[in-house]
């Protein structure tokens, strides 16, 4: 039984290819606005760009982490849980970037 190597090493989520009519999101500089931020879900760090669904108190936002020579972190607006979860799904499906 042979398996592609990726399935051995990548157990996290991977973002689908960007859809043709994707929604362009507004990404802001990440600012420390809360002491405790809990990462609820994250995409695989095998890609240059990975995402984290973060919760701080009652608000949720998505963090985008771009790794090249350095690490650049942006985040979306902080949203109500339902809105943020819908946004997270759209990002995973390649419908928003």
Residue 10 contacts Zn ion per CB under 5 A: yes
Minimal distance in Å, beta carbon 58 to Zn ion? Answer: 31
Ordered DSSP codes for 20-35: TTPBPP--EE-----S
Number of residues that bind Zn ion (CB under 5 A): 3
Residue 13 contacts Zn ion per CB under 5 A: no
Window 24 to 83, contacts with Zn ion (CB under 5 A):
44, 46
Q: Which helix H or strand E contains 7, and what residues bound it? A: helix 5-9
Q: Which residues bind Zn ion (CB under 5 A)?
A: 10, 44, 46
């Amino acid at each position: 039984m042979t398996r592609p190597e990726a399935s051995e090493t990548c157990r996290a989520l991977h973002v689908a290819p960007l859809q043709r009519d994707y929604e362009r999101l507004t990404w802001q500089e990440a600012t420390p606005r809360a002491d405790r931020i809990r990462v609820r879900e994250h995409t695989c760090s095998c890609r240059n760009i990975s995402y984290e669904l973060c919760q701080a108190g009652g608000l949720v936002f998505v963090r985008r982490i771009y790794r090249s020579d350095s690490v650049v972190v942006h985040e979306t607006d902080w949203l109500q849980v339902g809105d943020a979860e819908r946004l997270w799904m759209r990002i995973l499906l390649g419908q928003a970037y």
